[in-house]
Each structure stands twice: as structure tokens, then as C-alpha cells.
Structure 1
Amino acid sequence: MNATVTMEEVKPGHPGSEGCGAQEVRDQTDTPTDICNQIIQLLCTGLSDNSIMAMQKELQLMNRGSYYLEIQRQDLVPTADQQHTLHLSDSTLLSLINQPRLQAAMSMAKTQVKLLLTYLGMLQDQIMRGCRELEAFIVKYNQGGVDSHTAASMKQKLQQTHQDLKDFERRMTRTLGPLDLQNQLISNTGNYPIPQLSVTVAMKMPVIFDRFKSRVTSTSVYLCWEVAGEEPQEPNEQFEIHVKSLHPTVDDQGHFSKCMCQLYHIQVNNLISDRFYQFSVKRVDAGNLVYGMWIDSITLKTAEK
């Protein structure tokens, strides 16, 4: 089973590829003025302040997302409303799947996610360095200090930055895979036809508190949360809420509690007045969760009596 992101692909970018978000870089006799104009165009499009902020937000969401192994039947034709996704909570499915192979697939999926997130972080850093170098070239050009050698070097940097932007956009996907399994998850015993399964890794956007809707009284806190990116509320989602007192007394040594909730809001009662509490929320861990490190937290103080 090979990860979709190979080690070779982790080396960010290669110059000379297609452009991204601006006119493509010409190949032959660009003058310093031509290169300057192309850089300005890229700085106003793919490297504008709004574009960079959007890129940073997208990567932040990717890092905070939850990643799940999804198994689908390939030997069935999906209908318009059914993709034949199988769940690891299905006891019949679990009885058929080779557990060591499943664990190997889960481990490979986790490695693939971590590799992708690391690569995207490296790529973003390289894009920002390229942006600074291109901006410095514009300043130097305006000061009249650009020779043909410097212009040629900046042309290569411009090509590299175009390719990095294209690679970054191409990698920003919520579905990774399919995984290339060396062995089918269901062993062939020869007694019955084996269902043909495909395995992918799907991302769910992070769960975050809605700070504006949260309210406190002297003994209770009302909390609301949502899925980032204005995603619609999914039915049957389960969330885990942690409550921790940040100022324990002699009789209350940092009280900690947790509860489960199937709604996107909850009221926590029986709190002590005039005290800080830390609340955290996340999806309840599922059996097919392969990677999900981020948990949103909020600190609120109950009102005085």
C-alpha cells in the first residue's frame, strides 16, 4: 500500500511549470521590464493580501480538521443518493475484514495525512519567501539596480512561485486517496466472492465554539458550536464537551467533567459563581478516525451572585 503523497512529492515545487492566478511566465526573451510587470501582476492576484490570508486560513482549517478512513464497495453501482460507504461500526463488515490489514491501512492513512500537512506547511513557507524576494526585486528595479543576471534569477523565482501556488491549490482537498492497498482488506478464502473495497481518507472541518452566542449566569453557561466554513449541521453527529474549573478551592481540586451531546448547543449547570471555567468541544472519536489533533477551547467566568 503506497501513500498518495510520495517522498519525492514532498520536495516543494519545480520551476518551469504552469502559472497560477496570473499570466503565465514567458519562456525566452523577457526583459527586466517584462519580468517586473509579470511580478506585479502576480503580487496583485495570487500573492495579494487577500489571497495570502485565504491561503493561511485554508491551511489552518486543514490542520484543525478531522480525518477518517472511508471504505466503499466498488462492485456495486451507486445510486444518486447512496455511495455504498461502509462503516467500521458495522459488525458484519468487521467480521469480514482482516484486522491486521485494517490497522495497517489506518496507520498508512495517518502517515499520509501528516505528510500532506507537513508538505503544505513547507509549501506555504516557500511561497511567502518567494513573495518577499519578488517584492524586493520590484524595489531594486525601481531604484535602477537590476542587471540581466538578477533578472534571469528572478524569472526562475517567478516560475517557481507560480508552480508552488498551483501545487498548494491542488493539494487543498478534503479527500485524500484512494489508498493503494497492497492487500485487500477482506481475505480471499475461496468460499465466497470477495466484495471489492476501495479505501479513501476524508476530512471533516473542525468544530468551533460560537463565541457570540455563548452566555453565562452565576451558576450556568450556555454554549453553542458549529462546523467551520459555515458547513451545514450534520444529523447524528456526537460531540464531547469537557468542563474544567481553573480556580480550585481546598475542597474542589480542579474539578473536571465531560459529557456527550448530539446537539450543537448545551447548557452546563451547577457551576460556582464568580469563577473561571474552561470548556472544550470536539467530535466524539469514531472507530475510523485516523488523525484529529485539534480541540477548540473557550474560557468563561460565571457571574457574581
Structure 2
Amino acid sequence: MNFQVTGLALDKMKLDSPHSFLDSEEVEEAEDQQLLEPEAWRTYMERRNVLREFLTTDLSPQLLKRHHARMQLLKKCSYYIEILPKHLALGDQNPLVLPNTMFQLIDPWKFQRMKKVGTAQTKIQLLLLGDLLEQLDHGRAALDALLEAPDPRPFLAGWGLVEQQLADLSVVMDNFLAMMVPGHLHVKHRLVSDIGATKIPHIRLMLSTKMPVMFDRKESVAHQDWVSLRWFVTIQPAAPEQYELRFKLLEPRTQQECTQCGIVPVAACTFDVHNLLPNRTYKFTIKRAESYTLVYEPWRDSLTLQTTPGPPEGPAPRLGEPPAGL
């Protein structure tokens, strides 16, 4: 009995091939190595490893993803002016003047001007943060494409530019991280007028950030004619805060239904809204109560809930009885 084996010569050729046990990446690397002299190849691999290390540590996709998430959070935050004394006047033995006391000494008109400056500075800071983050995204994409380029010769020839890109992106990252924290407000004029011999410490104005107020979508529930609302702040404030809850009926059908709306001041993180219409859709928004020091609040959370249907109109027919009117 004779068995005919086909393809044996081809299999032997594959086994004899020097690349038979190499994966595709190793094959490509071996082909690239043939384009360079041994010394140039060693230099290429060293520089390639430097670039790879930068892209996996200093500018990794995971790091950029976290920065994007923080950027989205900053766009939802509220921004305030915080008044702090720099130091006491020389020789002053009085206790430190508290911020609440300082408000009584500050010129209201000048303070309103500073609030406008704070609003503009916050908007500019958020725009710059977005621009810096975009530079990091584009820079990483360009370097990643260079790392994956098939021909090593342009990589070696342009290494000086690559080094400059790495340095520039490091500076961009440093600027981005530094700008993530709101800073000083630049005061051109004194906010406190001279008031005789009273010694007033120099005032330092800072921009402070408060985390956004958000509805708890799992705990906020609609019933037939009322809703139970819950909200929270990611970082709990040191002192209790005041909130402003707004609600309104969507798509009112009569003039009277247009009155199904309101603004409710709340001193807690929970509230029940009663006397609503059954089987209707309402929109709720939550924010912090207005503050004298608020300079910018670009976002507020909203929630849409539908109340449950009410009981059927009229008495239900007993089992076995025809509906009324038949």
C-alpha cells in the first residue's frame, strides 16, 4: 500500500527558512535592520526605545484619558472668588481679619469689577486647558505614527526634531497640570479704601473651585403625583450648602398647567415635590444657591422624570358585568 504525501517539500522549505519561527513584528524588524549599518541600527533602537518609553509613561493613552475626564469635570464646576489676607500690617497686634469682615471693608463697585475679571480669567483658563490638551493629543498621535513608520532612516535623520517635540510636549504637559488648579486673580487697584488709622492687611484674591452638584439618578424616583429627588456633590463641602431646585411641566396642555413649575430653596440634598400631574413628564434642575462670590457657573445638572399613571376614571365594572352604557 502506497501513501502519497503532498506538500512535503514546501513544508521543508518553511522549516529551513530563517524566519519560520519569527512573528510578524520580528520579521519586520529584521527587514528594517537590513537597511542600516550595525552601528546605525543600534542607535536607531536606542532612540526608538526612548520614544516608546515617553509614549508609555509621560504621554500614555490612559493618562490622556484621565486628563480628558478631569477637563470635562472642570467644565461642570462652579468658580468663586476667595478673599484671603496676605499678612498683617507691621506692628499690628489685632487678630487676623476674617474674610466676612473684609467684605464690609471692600468697595462693592470695585469688587463687582473684580468678579468680571474673575469670570473672564476662568473662561480663558478653561479655553487654554482645552487647547493644551488638544496639543498633547495631536503630539502623541504624530509621535506614535513616527514610531510605527516602516523605514528607520527618516526616523534617524529627523531625530533632532523628535527630541524637540519631546521637550515641547513635556512643557505643554507641565503647563496643563499647573493650570488645572485655579490661581491668583490679578488685582490692579486697591479694593479697600483708606479708612483713617485702621490697619488693613493686604488682600489676596484667589479663584476657588467647587465640584458640580449632580442628581442621584438611582435614588430619584417619580410616583403618581409626586417625585422624590436626591442629589450629591463628589467632594463633600466642609459646611452645609444651600441649593436651588427648579421644576417645570414639559408640554403643558392648558393655561392652568403652565403653572406647574417653581423654584424651591433647599438646605439639604433631598427634596420631595408634591401636587404633580399623573402620567406627565417634568424637568428638574439643581444648582447651588446664588452667592455673592460666584464668578462663573457654566453648567447645571438636569433630570427628566415621568410620573406614573393615575387610576382609571370612573368605577371599574365588576367581574362578569358589561361596561356602563351597554
Change (3 A) 1:76 1:221: farther
Q: Which of residues 145, 154, 157 is equivalent to 1:149?
A: 157
Aligned to 2:82: 70
Higher RCO (Cα < 8 Å, 6 or more apart)? 1
Q: Shift in Å at residue 293 of structure 1?
A: 1.4
Offset at residue 147 of structure 1 (A): 4.1
| Structure 1 position 235 matched with structure 2 position 239 | yes
Q: Which runs of 4+ in 1 moved over 6 A?
A: none
Deviation at 1:83, TM superposition (A): 8.3
1:167 to partner: Cα distance: 1.7
Q: Following the alignment from structure 1 to structure 2, what is the Cα–Cα distance between the partners of residues 222 and 39?
A: 54
1:133 equivalenced with 2:142 (yes/no): yes
Residues 131-168 of structure 1: CA deviation (Å, up to 9, x unaligned):
1111111211x454634333333332222222222221
- Structure 2: which amino acid aligns with 1:151? W
* Partner Cα distance (1:83, 1:300) in 2: 49
Q: Are 1:124 and 2:133 counterparts?
A: yes
Cα 1:95–1:168 change in 2 (3 A) is closer
Partner of 1:258: 263
Task: Give SS of 2:231's match.
Answer: strand
Distance in 2, matches of 1:162 and 1:75, equals 36
Distance (whole Å) between structure 1 residues aligned to residue 96 and residue 151 of structure 2: 60
Say yes or no: does 1:289 pair with 2:302.
no
Q: Kindly provide the CA deviation profile for residues 163-182 of structure 1, in whole angstroms up to 9, marking residues without a partner as x.
A: 22222112211x411x3423
Q: Assess, with a 3 A threshold, how the Cα gap between structure 1 residues 147 and 199 changes in structure 2: closer, same or farther.
A: closer
Question: Partners of 2:60 and 2:228 in 1: how far apart?
Answer: 40
Cα distance in 2 between the residues matched to 1:254 and 1:150: 69
CA distance in 2, matches of 1:194, 1:83: 10
| RMSD of aligned residue pairs (Cα, Å) | 2.5
In 2: Cα distance, 1:96 partner to 1:32 partner: 66
- d(CA) in 2 for partners of 1:32, 1:166: 28
SS at match of 1:135: helix
| Cα distance change on mapping 1:105 and 1:212 into 2, 3 Å | same
TM-score (structure 2 length as normaliser):
0.73
Query: Shift of the alpha carbon at 1:263?
Result: 0.5
Q: Counterpart in 2 of 1:45?
A: 57
Deviation at 1:73, TM superposition (A): 2.7
The amino acid of 1:105's aligned partner reads: M
Do the aligned partners of residues 32 and 298 (structure 1) sit closer, same or farther apart at CA in structure 2, a change above 3 Å counting? farther
> Which secondary structure state, in structure 2, belongs to the residue aligned with residue 102 of structure 1?
helix
Q: Give the unaligned 5+ runs of structure 1.
A: 1-29
- The structure that has the greater radius of gyration is 2
CA distance in 2, matches of 1:204, 1:117: 15
Name the structure 1 match of 2:196: 190
Matched, 1:302 2:307: yes
**SS of corresponding position for 2:79:** strand
Q: Residue deviations 1:259-287, cap 9 Å, x none?
A: 11110111111111211111111101100
TM-score by length of 1: 0.78
- Counterpart amino acid of 1:184? R
Maintained 8 Å contact 1:32/1:146: no
Tell me, which stretches of 5 or more residues in structure 2 are unaligned?
Answer: 1-41, 90-94, 311-326
Distance of 1:145 and 1:301 partners within structure 2: 64
Q: Report 1:1-305 matches (<5 A).
A: 31-76=43-88, 85-87=98-100, 93-140=102-149, 142=150, 144=152, 146-173=154-181, 175-177=182-184, 179-228=185-234, 231-251=235-255, 252-253=257-258, 255-305=260-310
Q: Secondary structure at the match of 1:293?
A: coil
Q: CA deviation at 1:302?
A: 1.4
Residues 143 and 274 (structure 1), Cα distance of their counterparts in 2 relative to 1, 3 Å cut: farther
1:145 to 1:108, Cα distance in 2 relative to 1, 3 A:
same
Identity, in percent, stands at 28
CA distance in 2, matches of 1:60, 1:147: 36
- The number of aligned residues is 263
* Contact 2:88–2:200 under 8 Å retained in 1: no
Structure 1 distance, partners of 2:140, 2:97, is 45
Q: Contact 1:72–1:198 (CA<8 Å) still a contact in 2? A: yes
Cα distance in structure 2, aligned partners of 1:147 and 1:196: 56
Alignment-derived partner of residue 314 in structure 2: none
Q: Secondary structure at the match of 2:187?
A: coil
Indicate how the Cα distance of structure 1 residues 75 and 152 shifts in structure 2: closer, same or farther if over 3 A, else same: closer
Secondary structure at 1:170 match in 2:
helix
Secondary structure of the residue that 2:244 maps to in structure 1? strand
Q: What amino acid is aligned across from residue 171 of structure 2 in structure 1? A: Q
